[in-house]
Structure formats: structure tokens, C-alpha cells
């Protein structure tokens, strides 16, 4: 099934459906009759699209779905899912999709309690982070529904392999990727010009340290921000990205811990070098301070994920023309310049009484280009559905980035042979151990090797996993 | 609780009027010094709350500007409107108020009964029963969340008010407070009541309780505040946004993306107003209630 | 036994002998329904390990692991630090406040009392929102005020040492007034004649404080020490909303570590083990405090 890419013919008809799709959305408040007729058109188009892909069980063909589908999510994804919910309801008049903004991190406590109580008391559909999903699957067998049984496998090829596999166990999949954190590298063209640095000459992270020093001398600004005190769980995102750029992760493919490999020490040393050069600002990974550091112009570079492109364009309109983007530098010359460092998923509760409708909503929202584009337009989250990355509406040159097309840059990542990342069910503990190690290195000047070895030992005793090669 | 007690002559619960001392220049200086020191302390304590109220009248962008906002802005009504209209915050306030009010009355009743039994009766199993109740103080609540959730599933009570109300009705500190207070009730009073043909129930509600209004007021404050501010359990037990309480609704305002701090702080301000009013109304009784209760040896 | 009681006994089931059981019944029913199962269930969980999502009996395995867990001892150390530094500071401040409030020299008594008590009405969520905004290194009010007197920005939540200071400040802000009210109530039971007699004997303010006020406060001090100890050992709210236990576990408390293991890592067996170890600790320390402080001098 992995090879099943959507045929060209289907993409054309999907394109037709897309325009109808968005019209249907804007007119939703119009007369009922008109809404109904639009719903018919949307339904027909999707049917057409579904027929194009021979083996697809047509979701709209039964047309008998009914009842309520409750979805739990948080701020931005909620608004995106509401777009999909409205369109889904048009297509299935018998179904009401109720998307609830539970808040984050509140959502995790709420879901975990239901999982631990035997998978009861959960909504039909849940938005689950990559740091939770494998843990849920591993620890609570009655929690998430096996989506392979509902026909999810046919969509496998539409998503980055590592992200898809991170929600799978024993070949069965429990979540469909919603948004992904695909590495992105944004820089302030004006500040770099002032420092006389040419970003195109930067091939490796070591080169970047020199640029950072030049920027600091010329402008007094920091090169980039890191959440040194790890106020947030994902404070070590950059470390993880550097590790992934070397084809490695916290765990190897058999699940053994690989936190003190030469590659890991190298990744932490790069971060230490940046910090020792005095070019790292201490910026909390929490949203508001993080945004402030960018809008205030405190940093010359944002080494984060692709979705930053959308945020810059929508939230910091007055900085238009000041930004450029590229893929991150490699760790070693010629190495990978791409990584997928995180993702969220939509999953269905095993206990859902409306499993079929819940699954069809997930399928509707996440596996179709037209849904994903409409959602992207609303919320700007970077979709996991890779074919969207190549559609004309997604890849538009932007004045904001001086005529560069942000998404075209990221599409290049697809061409790189990214190794599959084994996030495992203990990713949350690994994150904690790693962010603590990073804090020790950045705030107390600890030795990267020693800090990582200690983290590795602690992780091993916490999880009962063995240390690779140890 | 106050509905149970028949109206009696007002028990003055205000602290005894301070004795007047000789007025003189030295005394005046002392008055000024002490009052000034206490006022400065009070200003430090109130400053965060003052800033919260001020911040709730500004937009998110203004709140994070430098220098910080120190004077009222004009965004309060807009913040409140978006809270109520877009986020259904009015419903959460109504839910919280209803739950906290019902809880205060019912839990007050339960704690009073238990406190009275422990204070004024000798019976088999007294030590064990008291020990059990005090044991609930030492076991951290986080660990009981999942089994409690299971119980509510069995009863089919998820997303109901009783799921929030029932588990904490037997409030250990409340029972302790009432027991300590009732220890002071003279046994002779009870004996006299019994001789007069007074039943045990009437003895408690007709004779004992009316003498204890301050303790009841103190209990009411504790209970109301505890329920009004309870967060983790309602977060887990309530499912639909229509049944959210104020803290749960506030938590939903925080996401991992942009947070509207004007809205959030307006919600925070609104969230402490009812609790502050309840405290204001009962605080005179409260001081005297503690006096007659918890600190007796 | 008087005839009156006998006639009562014929009419009602609530007699002097059955009354305590009837009065305690609600509490006991609630305990069995909502507490017993969670306690027994979580204790059983502490004796199990999760294998592929199923709980298997593991004996004392979790307890052995606990004794070798450096993070548990780190959490224990952090908690002890708060207990040894914050609790005495807070209680000393509260005594000072109560003495101030009890003085005949104080003016604006009601307003000041309300100001000092107001923080207690604030719940976990509201409190976290407010303080994380105030303590923001770059845009927070606190650093702005400090900047006004020439102090460099303090990384309140971003440095291991300062994060501990922040937790201690926040706790003190929240609970000092609450303890002061308890002391104040106790102080009002100390007869003023004692002070007057001491003054006549030539005792200065300090000697009066040491020889009259402090002994008079003893029961209230015992109560607040025990309550603060229980609250501190179970400390969860402040690190949960302000520091998430960081940086580098500097503010990881036992309550926080328990929560992380259960709700972050889904190891409810180990979380229960931590809970029971904590409960044992709380019980032992509270018992010791009662024995030490409760003794009459």
C-alpha cells in the first residue's frame, strides 16, 4: 500500500472538488437549500475522487453515517478541525461533529485519565502528540482504536514514513499524522547583511557559529534563541534535530537507548559551542515569549520548523521583506539538511460508539488535499499529507520572503532519504532526560559527554531499556 | 448551613473592641508607624492582584509592552465580551457558582454531623473512624484520580454535577474544625436538653448549632473556596464545554499557540470576584469562628 | 435514664446511643464509596508492573526502585528545602502580622486584614496565569520594578536557584495571611490583663512577646505547623503551574514527580508507590510534630 500515491487523474478531480469545498464553507451560513445543493456537489466530487483510487472504499457511498462525533483538541488545531467538521457535516447531514478546545496541556491529563481507566470516558476522536501516542498505544491497549482495521493502511504512503510508523505497533496503526514539524531555517536578511555574512556560504553548523559571532559584533543581536532552562517539554528540539540530521535519535531501531553516541555528543557540543560563543539568547519555548523574541528582533535566526513560515506571515506582517529561509545547515559537510522532529495525530477511541463515523471524519480531514488546504488556510499548521506540499496553492512565492516560496524549500526535504525515527513509548522520558542534560550544559557548563551519559543511565533505569552497545 | 439554624439574637463575632489607651504624642507616633508598616506590607501583597485587574482592561499586546501597564485601559468590556460570547465563560461561572453553593450547604451539613458525633459521643469504633478520616489528609489526591474516574464510569456519572460534588463532601479539615468547636459545648447543656425531652436531631440543630454561627461561617468559607478553585478533578470528570467550571474553562483558554492574555486575565479577574465576595461577607464570622474552633487544645 | 428519653426512644430511631452512628453515616458511606476503592486500588497498583498494558504482580519491586531513584531523593531534598526555609519564614511573618493586627494601635484594621487574606481566594489556575506573567524575565512587572531601582533582570523561573526562590515567594504570598488569621484568633483568647500586669512589672515589649504571646500561640502554632507540613510535603500546585518542576529538576517536588510518572509516563504503579511513600512520610512527620509541639511545657 505504501506505493499507492494518488494518481494524477484523481488529483485533477480533487482540485475541482477543492474549489467547491471552499465555496461550500463560505456559504455555510446561507440558505439551507443552497447549502444542501453545495453539499451534494462536494459529496459527488469526493465520490469521484474516491472512485479514481481503485481500492479505496468510498467513504461517501454508504451515506448512512449518523450520530455525534466528539473531537478533543486545543487552540489552533481546533480552528482547523472546525473547518473540516463543517465540510464533513455538509457531506454527511446525519452526523454532527463537535470539535472541543480542551486547552493544552490540560488535554493530556484528561485523555490519560480516560486511557488509564480502561479506555473509557474518551471522546470519539483525539488530537494526540507524538510524545504521547506511542506511550498510549503501548500502555493502554484498550485506549486507541486500531485504524488499520478501519482501512488506514492505504494512506500510509501519503505521509512521511517515520511519522507514520511512530503511531504504529506490530504493523497496526493507531493515528493518522495531522501536522508535522519539518525542519525549517529562517534568517533576518537585514541583520545578516549588516554583519556582512552570506548565508548561502554556510554549509555546516560550525560555519554558523562564525556567522553568529559576526552578527553579534555588528548588530549586538543574538544568533538564535534556546530555552536554556527548559521551561517547556520541547526545549531540546534543536538538539534533537541535530541528532536526526546525523541519522540518529534517542533510540535505535530496536528501542535501545542511544543518548551518548558520538553523534549525540557532537550535537550537544554544537549547542555548547554556540552558547560559549555568546550568540545564544535564553528564550522560553513557550509561545508568547518565543514570539516576542522574534518580533522584537532579538534573534537573527529561527531554527525551528516549517510552520514558522505561516506564523511569520500571518502574525508579524510588519516584518515583511526582512526574512529569508532555507534548509538548516548540515552537521558535517554533505550531510542531511532535513529532519522531521515532531508531529501530532488524530486517533479514534477504541471505546467510541461511533467508530466508523469517527474514522471517516479523520480520513476526510487528513488524507485529502482539498481538506488539508482549506484547513491550512485557516490555521497555517504544516500538514503531514506530503502531496499537499507540492500543490500549486501551497507552493506560492511570497513577497514576505523576498519572492522565495517557503513551501518549495521544504518540499526539497522530501527528496532526502530520511531515516525512520523510532520515537518509542518512552519518548516523553527521553525528552525529559535530554532537556535536563541540555540545561546542565547551558546553565552550569557541564561537559556534554558526561551530561548525556548521566541522562542515558537515568533513562535506562526509568524505562528498563538497555543502552545500545553497552 | 445557616438555613438550618433558627434565627437567634445576633452573635457579635467581631473581635473585641480594642481598649483605648492614653493618647499622647508617643502613642500617635506608634500608631502611625505600625499602620504604615502594615499598609506597606498590604500594598506588596495586593500589588499582583492590582496588576491583574489592570491587565484585564488591556489587550494582549499592551500587556506585553514595555514599560508594563499600570493604569486602567479600555479593553475590559471587549475582553469580557469575547470571553462570554466566544468562549461561553458565563456558563462556566454559573456552573461553578451552582456547584460551589450546593457543595457548601451539603458538605457543611455532612461535616457538622460528623464533627458533632466525634465531639460529643462515646461509641465503639470512634478511634478508627476518626483515623480513617484523617488518613484522607495524608494520601495525595493525584493518585486517586484514575480510580475515582473509574467509579464515575461505573455509576455513569461522568460529566455530571454529582461527580464533582460527592467525592469531596466529607472534607477532613471541615470535620476536624467542627469537632474542635463542638468540644467546647458543655455536656450539661446537652443533658438539660435531653431531660426537657429534646430529640437528638433537635438537640444538634436547635440548641448546639445556633451557638456556633462563627464556626459555621468559617466552614462555609473553606468549603466554598475549596470547591470554587478545584481544578484537576473537574478537568478530568467534566467532558462537555457546557458543564465546565471556571478553572477548567480558564485552562482551556491556554493553548500552545497564541494566547489572548487580555481575555485570560479578564477571566482570571472574574474568577476571583465571587470567592472574594463570599470571603468579604463571612470574614468577620471567620476570624471568630477559628477562635472558637480549630485552635482549642 | 429519664422517662422523657424513653418516650423519645419509642418515637424515633435517633437515640443517644444510635445518634453517633446516624450522624457519622453520611461520612462513612461517602468514604466507602469514593475513597476506599481508590486507596486500595492504588495500593495494589504500587505492587504491580505494567507488561504490555496489563498489570502484573511485582511485589516490592517498585519500592526497591524508589529507594534507588536519584530523582526521588532530589524531589525529597527540594521539598525538605521548602519545609525548612519557607515554612518558618511564612509562620514568623504570620505571627508578626497577627501581633500587628492584635495591637490596639492599628488603624484601618478591616481593610488591611482583607488585603492580607485576599491571596487565599485565588485558585491554582488563576494563580499560575498571574504569576508566570508577573515573573516573566523580559516583560514581567517584577523585573520592571527592580529595573527601576537599578537591579538587573532576574531570571525568576529560568535559573535553578531563582526558580526555588520564586516558588518560596509565591507560597509565602499565598498562605501568610491565612496563617495570620489563625494566629490572630488565638491571640484574642490571651487575656489583656496578662500584658497589663507584665507592663506594670516592667517587662518590655520583647519580654511580653516571648513570655506571654508565644506561649499563648502554642496551640495555633502546632495546628499551622502540621497543616503547612502536610501541604508542603504534598506540594504540587506551584511547581505545576510555575516551573513544571524545572529547571533541571530544581523545583521537582514529590507531588510533581508522582504526577509526572503517572500522567506523563503512564507508570501508575510507580506513581502509586511514590504516593504511599509520601503518605507514610506525612503521617510520621505529623505524628512527630504532635508529640514534640503538643507536649505541655
Alpha carbons A227 and C36: distance in angstroms, whole number: 43
What tens digit of pLDDT does each residue of C39-69 get? 999 999 999 988 777 888 988 999 999 999 9
| C113 CA: distance to closest CA in chain B (Å) | 8
Residues 6+ away with beta carbon under 8 Å from B20: C104
Distance between CA atoms of residues B225 and B234, nearest Å: 14
- DSSP string for C176-194: HHHHHHHHHHHHTTS-HHH
Using a CB-CB cut-off of 8 Å, the residues of chain B touching A132 are: none
CA distances in angstroms from A208 to A244, A282, B223, C133, listed in the order given:
18, 18, 59, 34
CB burial readout C38-61, b (16+ within 10 A) else e: bbebbbebbbbbbeebeeeebeeb
Nearest residue on chain A to B244, alpha-carbon basis: A102
Other C-beta atoms closer than 10 Å to the C-beta of B187 total 8
Domain finish residue from A390, A408, A431: A390
A339 CA to chain C: closest CA distance, Å?
25
Q: Do A13 and A130 belong together in one domain?
A: yes
Closest CA to B290 of B204, B183, B177: B177
Asked whether C134 and C142 are in contact (CB, 8 A), the reply is yes
The pLDDT of residue A253 is: 87
Query: Is residue A15's pLDDT more than 50?
Result: no
Domain ranges of chain B: 28-74, 87-292
Measured between CB atoms, which of C105, C138, C182 is closest to B294? C182
Q: Which domain holds residue A350?
A: 8-174+341-390
Nearest by CB: C38 against B67, B144, B280: B144
CB contact under 8 A, B255 and A76: yes
Over residues A265-287, the mean pLDDT reads 91
Residue written as grid cell 487552540: A75
Residue B9, pLDDT > 60, answer no
Would you say residue A330 lies in a domain?
Answer: yes
Mean pLDDT, to the nearest integer, of B193-199? 86
Q: How confident is the model at residue C4 (pLDDT cuts 50, 70, 90)?
A: very low
Beta partners for residue B3, in sequence order: none
* A59 and A113 part of one domain: yes
Higher per-residue pLDDT: A99 or A45: A99
Quote the ipTM score. Answer: 0.82
C69-294: CATH number: 1.10.3720.10
| Contact indicator for B171, B230 with CB cutoff of 8 Å | no
Interface contact B255-A103, CB threshold 8 A: yes
Give chain B positions within 8 Å (CB) of C26.
Answer: 110, 113-114, 169-170
Distance CA C272, CA C259 (A): 10
Q: How would residue A226 be classed by pLDDT, with cut points 50, 70 and 90?
A: very high
A186 and A328 both lie in a single domain: yes
| CATH 3.30.70.100 fits domain B87-292 | no
Indicate whether A10 pLDDT > 60.
Answer: no
Q: What is the mean pLDDT of residues A289-307?
A: 88
B134: pLDDT strictly greater than 90: no
- What is the pLDDT at residue A162? 80
Q: What is the pLDDT of residue B28?
A: 86
Task: Tell me whether residue A142 is in a domain.
Answer: yes
Task: State residue C125's pLDDT score.
Answer: 80
Query: B152 to chain A: which residues are within 8 Å by CB?
Result: 121
Sign of the dihedral defined by the CA atoms of residues B187, B191, B196, B202, in that order: positive
Is A20's pLDDT higher than 70? no
Q: How high is the pLDDT of residue C270?
A: 92
| Cross-chain Cβ contact B35/C118 below 8 Å | no
| A409 domain residue, yes or no | no
Check residue B10 and give its pLDDT.
33
Q: Does A252 reach chain B within 8 Å, measured CB to CB?
A: no
The 10s digit of each residue's pLDDT in A61-84 is 455 788 999 999 988 899 999 999
Looking at chain B, which residue has its C-alpha nearest residue C295? B297
| pLDDT value, residue C2 | 44
pLDDT, mean over chain B = 81
- Cα C187 from chain centroid (whole Å): 22
Beta strand A340-348 pairing with A125-129: antiparallel
Cell numbers linked to C180: 495570620
Q: What is the mean pLDDT of residues B151-165?
A: 89
Percentage of residues in chain A having pLDDT higher than 90:
48
Question: What's the mean per-residue pLDDT of chain C?
Answer: 86
Q: Which of A117, A237, A318 to mutate to test the interface with B (most CBs of B within 10 A)?
A: A117
User: Within a 10 A sphere around the Cβ of A4, how many other Cβ atoms?
Assistant: 16
Judged by CB atoms closer than 8 Å, whether chains meet at A231 and C247 is answered as yes
Chain B residue numbers with beta carbons less than 8 Å from the beta carbon of C276 are: 139
Predicted confidence (pLDDT) at residue A19 exceeds the cutoff of 60: no
Which residue would you say has higher pLDDT here, A157 or C188? A157
Q: Where are the beta strands (DSSP E) in A215-359?
A: 224-226, 280-282, 301-305, 323-326, 340-348
Contact C158 A284 (CB under 8 A): yes
Model confidence at B64, pLDDT cuts 50, 70, 90, reads confident
Q: Which of B153, B239, B256 is facing A74, going by the closest CB pair?
A: B256
- Cis bond before residue C278 (omega within 30° of 0): no
C24 vs B39, B51, B114: nearest CB: B114
Q: Which of A106, A118, A121 sits opposite B252 (nearest CB)?
A: A106
What does the pLDDT average to over B155-173? 89
The band of A27, judged by pLDDT with boundaries at 50, 70 and 90, is very low
Determine the Cα angle at A15 with ends A9 and A21, to 5°: 140
- Per-residue pLDDT at B143: 82
DSSP string, B221-261: HHHHHHHHH--HHHHHH--SGGG--HHHHHHHH--SS---H
The pLDDT-based confidence of C123 (bands split at 50, 70, 90) is confident
Q: CA C190, C192, C195: angle at the middle one, nearest 5?
A: 100
Mean pLDDT of A172-191: 92
Subunit contact C266:A136, Cβ cutoff 8 A? yes
Q: Does A408 or C296 have the greater pLDDT score?
A: A408
Nearest CB to C125; choose among B52, B129, B251: B251
**Which of the two residues, A99 and C220, has the higher pLDDT score?**
A99
Q: With 70 as the cut, is the pLDDT of residue A13 above it? A: no
Which pLDDT band, with edges at 50, 70 and 90, does B290 fall under?
low
Q: CB-CB: which of C54, C155, C246 is closest to A230?
A: C246
A212/A158 same-domain check: no
- Give the count of beta carbons closer than 10 Å to the beta carbon of residue C194: 15
C-alpha cell at B112: 457538622
Closest C-alpha to B149, from B275, B235, B248, B80: B235
Q: Do B158 and A118 lie within an 8 Å CB cutoff?
A: no
Confidence tier at C294 by pLDDT (50, 70, 90) = low
Which pLDDT value is given to residue C295?
A: 59
Based on the structure, what is the number of domains in chain A?
2
| Confidence grade of residue B101 (pLDDT, cut at 50, 70, 90) | very high
- How far the first Cα of chain A sits from its last, in Å, is 37
Contact A136 C160 (CB under 8 A): no
Residue given cell 562564525 in the structure block: A210
Residue C3: its pLDDT value, please? 43
Q: A230-263: per-residue pLDDT in tens?
A: 887 788 999 999 999 999 999 998 889 999 999 9
Q: Please list every residue in chain B whose beta carbon sits closer than 8 Å to the beta carbon of residue A121.
A: 149, 152-153, 158, 239
For A334-387, the pLDDT digits (tens) are 899 988 888 999 999 999 999 999 999 999 999 999 999 999 888 888 899 988
C141–B49 C-beta distance less than 8 A: no
| Measured distance CA(B227)–CA(C256) in Å, rounded | 22
Nearest one of C103, A6, C153, C40 to B33, comparing CA atoms:
C103
| Cβ distance of C155 and A229 shorter than 8 Å | yes
CB proximity under 8 Å: B 59-78 to C: 63-68
Cβ-based burial of A226 (10 A; exposed 0-12, middle 13-18, buried ≥19): buried
What is the 8-class DSSP label of residue C16? Answer: T
Residue with the larger pLDDT of the pair B247 and A58: B247
Same domain as A48, residue A189: no
The CATH number that applies at residue A377 is 3.40.190.10
Burial B189-203 (b: 16+ CB within 10 A, else e): ebeebbeeebbbeeb
Residues facing residue A225 across a β-bridge: A281
Give chain B positions within 8 Å (CB) of A113. Answer: 145-146, 149, 236
Long-range contacts of C144-151 (CB under 8 A, 24+ apart): C144/B66, C144/B67, C144/B68
What's the pLDDT band for A442 if we cut at 50, 70, 90? Answer: very high
Residues of B at the A interface, defined by Cβ within 8 angstroms: 64, 145-146, 149-150, 152-153, 158, 232, 235-236, 239-241, 248, 251-259, 261
Q: Which residues of A touch C268 (CB under 8 A)?
A: 116
- A446 and A433, same structural domain? yes
pLDDT for position C242? 86
Q: Is A326 left (phi over 0), alpha (psi -120 to 50) or beta?
A: beta
The confidence score (pLDDT) of residue C220 equals 84
Pick from A113, A229, A289: which is nearest to C246 by CB? A229
Quote the distance between the C-alpha of residue B206 and its chain's center.
26
Distance CA A355, CA B224 (A): 41
SS3 label, residue A463: helix
**C185-237: pLDDT as tens digits:** 778 778 888 888 888 888 888 898 989 899 888 888 888 898 899 889 988 88
**Residue-range domain boundaries for chain C:** 3-62, 69-294
Q: Check pLDDT > 60 for residue C297.
A: no
Same structural domain, A229 and A377: no
**A-C Cβ pairs (cutoff 8 Å, strict):** 82
d(CA A62, CA A360): 11
**Within 10 Å of residue C28's Cβ, how many Cβ atoms?**
17
Chain B within 8 Å of C112 (Cβ-Cβ)? yes
Q: Please check whether residue B164 is in contact with residue B234, taking contact to mean a CB–CB distance below 8 angstroms.
A: yes
Amino acid at each position: 500500500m505504501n506505493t499507492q500515491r494518488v494518481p494524477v487523474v484523481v488529483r485533477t478531480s480533487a482540485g475541482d472538488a477543492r474549489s467547491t469545498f471552499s465555496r461550500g464553507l463560505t456559504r455555510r451560513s446561507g440558505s439551507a437549500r443552497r447549502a444542501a445543493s453545495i453539499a451534494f456537489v462536494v459529496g459527488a466530487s469526493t465520490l469521484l475522487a474516491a472512485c479514481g483510487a481503485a481500492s479505496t472504499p468510498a467513504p461517501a457511498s454508504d451515506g448512512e453515517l449518523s450520530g455525534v462525533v466528539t473531537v478533543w483538541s486545543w487552540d489552533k488545531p481546533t480552528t482547523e478541525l472546525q473547518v473540516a467538521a463543517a465540510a464533513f457535516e455538509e457531506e454527511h447531514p446525519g452526523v454532527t461533529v463537535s470539535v472541543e478546545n480542551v486547552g493544552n496541556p490540560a488535554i493530556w491529563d484528561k485523555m490519560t485519565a480516560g486511557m488509564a481507566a480502561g479506555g473509557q470516558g474518551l471522546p470519539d476522536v483525539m488530537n494526540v502528540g507524538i510524545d504521547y501516542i506511542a506511550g498510549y498505544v503501548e500502555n493502554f491497549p484498550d485506549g486507541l482504536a486500531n485504524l488499520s482495521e478501519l482501512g488506514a493502511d492505504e494512506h500510509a504512503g501519503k505521509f512521511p514514513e517515520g511519522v507514520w510508523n511512530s503511531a504504529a505497533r506490530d504493523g497496526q496503526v493507531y493515528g493518522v499524522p495531522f501536522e508535522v514539524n519539518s525542519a525549517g531555517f529562517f534568517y533576518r536578511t537585514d541583520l545578516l547583511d549588516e554583519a556582512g555574512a552570506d548565508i548561502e556560504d554556510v554549509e555546516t553548523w560550525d560555519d554558523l557559529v562564525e556567522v553568529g559571532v559576526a552578527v553579534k559584533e555588528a548588530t549586538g543581536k543574538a544568533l538564535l534563541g534556546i530555552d536554556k532552562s527548559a521551561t517547556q517539554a520541547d526545549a531540546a528540539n534543536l538538539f534533537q534535530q541535530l541528532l536526526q540530521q546525523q541519522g540518529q535519535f534517542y533510540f535505535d531501531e530496536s528501542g535501545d537507548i542511544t543518548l551518548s553516541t558520538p553523534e549525540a555528543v557532537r550535537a550537544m557540543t554544537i549547542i555548547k559551542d554556540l552558547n560559549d560563543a555568546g550568540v545564544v539568547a535564553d528564550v522560553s519555548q513557550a509561545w508568547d515569549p518565543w514570539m516576542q523574541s522574534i518580533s522584537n528582533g532579538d534573534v537573527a535566526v529561527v531554527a525551528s520548523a516549517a510552520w514558522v513560515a505561516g506564523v511569520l506571515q500571518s502574525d508579524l506582517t510588519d516584518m515583511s521583506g526582512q526574512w529569508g529561509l532555507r534548509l538548516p545547515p548540515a552537521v558535517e559537510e554533505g550531510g542531511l539538511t532535513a529532519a522531521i522532529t515532531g508531529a501530532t495525530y488524530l486517533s479514534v477511541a477504541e471505546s467510541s460508539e461511533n467508530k466508523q463515523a469517527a474514522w471517516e471524519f479523520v480520513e476526510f480531514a487528513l488524507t485529502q488535499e482539498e481538506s488539508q488546504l482549506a484547513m491550512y488556510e485557516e490555521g497555517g499548521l504544516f500538514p503531514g499529507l506530503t502531496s499537499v506540499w507540492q500543490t500549486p496553492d501551497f507552493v506560492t512565492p511570497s513577497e514576505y520572503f523576498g519572492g522565495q516560496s517557503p513551501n518549495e524549500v521544504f518540499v526539497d526535504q522530501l527528496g532526502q532519504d530520511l531515516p525512520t525515527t523510532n520515537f518509542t513509548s518512552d519518548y516523553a522520558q527521553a525528552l525529559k532526560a535530554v532537556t535536563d542534560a541540555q540545561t546542565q550544559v547551558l546553565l552550569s557548563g557541564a561537559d556534554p559527554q558526561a551530561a548525556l551519559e548521566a541522562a542515558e543511565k537515568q533513562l535506562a533505569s526509568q524505562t528498563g531499556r538497555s543502552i545500545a552497545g553497552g | 448551613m445557616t438555613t438550618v439554624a433558627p434565627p437567634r439574637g445576633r452573635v457579635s463575632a467581631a473581635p473585641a473592641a480594642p481598649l483605648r489607651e492614653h493618647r499622647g504624642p508617643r502613642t500617635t507616633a506608634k500608631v502611625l508607624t505600625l499602620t504604615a508598616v502594615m499598609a506597606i506590607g498590604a500594598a506588596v501583597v495586593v500589588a499582583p492582584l492590582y496588576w491583574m485587574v489592570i491587565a484585564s482592561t488591556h489587550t494582549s499586546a499592551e500587556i506585553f509592552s514595555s514599560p508594563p501597564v499600570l493604569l486602567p485601559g479600555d479593553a475590559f468590556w471587549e475582553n469580557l465580551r469575547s470571553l462570554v460570547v466566544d468562549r461561553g465563560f458565563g456558563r462556566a461561572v454559573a456552573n461553578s457558582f451552582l456547584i460551589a453553593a450546593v457543595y457548601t450547604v451539603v458538605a457543611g451539613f455532612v461535616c457538622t454531623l460528623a464533627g458533632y458525633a466525634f465531639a460529643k459521643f462515646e461509641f465503639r469504633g470512634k478511634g478508627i473512624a476518626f483515623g480513617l478520616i484523617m488518613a484522607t489528609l495524608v494520601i495525595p489526591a493525584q493518585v486517586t484520580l484514575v480510580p475515582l474516574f473509574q467509579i464515575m464510569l461505573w455509576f455513569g456519572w461522568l460529566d455530571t454535577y454529582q461527580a464533582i460534588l460527592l467525592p469531596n463532601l466529607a472534607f477532613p479539615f471541615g470535620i476536624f474544625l467542627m469537632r474542635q468547636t463542638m468540644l467546647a459545648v458543655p455536656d450539661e447543656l446537652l443533658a438539660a436538653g435531653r431531660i426537657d425531652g429534646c430529640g437528638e436531631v433537635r438537640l444538634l440543630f436547635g440548641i448546639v448549632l445556633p451557638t456556633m454561627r462563627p464556626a459555621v461561617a468559617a466552614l462555609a468559607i473553606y468549603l466554598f473556596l475549596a470547591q470554587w478553585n478545584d481544578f484537576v478533578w473537574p478537568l478530568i470528570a467534566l467532558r462537555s464545554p457546557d458543564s465546565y467550571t471556571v478553572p477548567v474553562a480558564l485552562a482551556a483558554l491556554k493553548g500552545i499557540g497564541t494566547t489572548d492574555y487580555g481575555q485570560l486575565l479578564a477571566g482570571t479577574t472574574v474568577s476571583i470576584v465571587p470567592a472574594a465576595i463570599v470571603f468579604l461577607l463571612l470574614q468577620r464570622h471567620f476570624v471568630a469562628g477559628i477562635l472558637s474552633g480549630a485552635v482549642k487544645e | 435514664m429519664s422517662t422523657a428519653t424513653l418516650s423519645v426512644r419509642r418515637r424515633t430511631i435517633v437515640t443517644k446511643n444510635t445518634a453517633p452512628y446516624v450522624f457519622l453515616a453520611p461520612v462513612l458511606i461517602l468514604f466507602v464509596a469514593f475513597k476506599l476503592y481508590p486507596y486500595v486500588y492504588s495500593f495494589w497498583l504500587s505492587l504491580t508492573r505494567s507488561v504490555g498494558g496489563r498489570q502484573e504482580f511485582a511485589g516490592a519491586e517498585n519500592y526497591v526502585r524508589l529507594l534507588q531513584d536519584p530523582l526521588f531523593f532530589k524531589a525529597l531534598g527540594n521539598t525538605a528545602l521548602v519545609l525548612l526555609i519557607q515554612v518558618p519564614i511564612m509562620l514568623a511573618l504570620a505571627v508578626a502580622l497577627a501581633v500587628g493586627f492584635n495591637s490596639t494601635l492599628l488603624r484601618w484594621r478591616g481593610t488591611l486584614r482583607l488585603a492580607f487574606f485576599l491571596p487565599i481566594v485565588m485558585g491554582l489556575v488563576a494563580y499560575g496565569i498571574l504569576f508566570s506573567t508577573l515573573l516573566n524575565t523580559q516583560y514581567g512587572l517584577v523585573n520592571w520594578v527592580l529595573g527601576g531601582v537599578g537591579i538587573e533582570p532576574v531570571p525568576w523561573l529560568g535559573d535553578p536557584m531563582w526558580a526555588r526562590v520564586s516558588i518560596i515567594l509565591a507560597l509565602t504570598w499565598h498562605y501568610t495571611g491565612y496563617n495570620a488569621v489563625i494566629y490572630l484568633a488565638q491571640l484574642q483568647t490571651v487575656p489583656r490583663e496578662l500584658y497589663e500586669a507584665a507592663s506594670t512589672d516592667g517587662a518590655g515589649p520583647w519580654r511580653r512577646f516571648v513570655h506571654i504571646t508565644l506561649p499563648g500561640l502554642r496551640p495555633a502554632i502546632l495546628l499551622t505547623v502540621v497543616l503547612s507540613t502536610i501541604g508542603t510535603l504534598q506540594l504540587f500546585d506551584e511547581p505545576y503551574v510555575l516551573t513544571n518542576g524545572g529547571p533541571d529538576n530544581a523545583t521537582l517536588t514529590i507531588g510533581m514527580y508522582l504526577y509526572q510518572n503517572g500522567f506523563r509516563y503512564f507508570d501508575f504503579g510507580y506513581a502509586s508507590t511514590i504516593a504511599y511513600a509520601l503518605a507514610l512520610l506525612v503521617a510520621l512527620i505529623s505524628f512527630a510534630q504532635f508529640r514534640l509541639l503538643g507536649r505541655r511545657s
